[in-house]
Amino acid sequence: MSLERILKSIAVLAALLGRSALTIFPLWWMLVVSRETPANAGAAMVGGGDVIKLWPSSPQWANYAKAGEEMGSRRGGGFGEGFKDALANSTVITVLVCVGTILSSSLVGFAFARVRVRGPQGLFLLKL
The one-digit pLDDT tens for each residue of the chain (128 residues) are 799 999 999 999 999 999 999 999 889 888 888 888 877 777 766 665 556 677 777 788 888 878 777 765 555 555 556 667 777 888 999 999 999 999 999 998 888 778 776 666 666 666 66
pTM exceeding the 0.75 threshold for the entire prediction: no
Q: How far apart are CA 63 and CA 49, in angstroms?
A: 21
**Which residue in 57, 81, 60 sits closest to 71, CA to CA?**
81
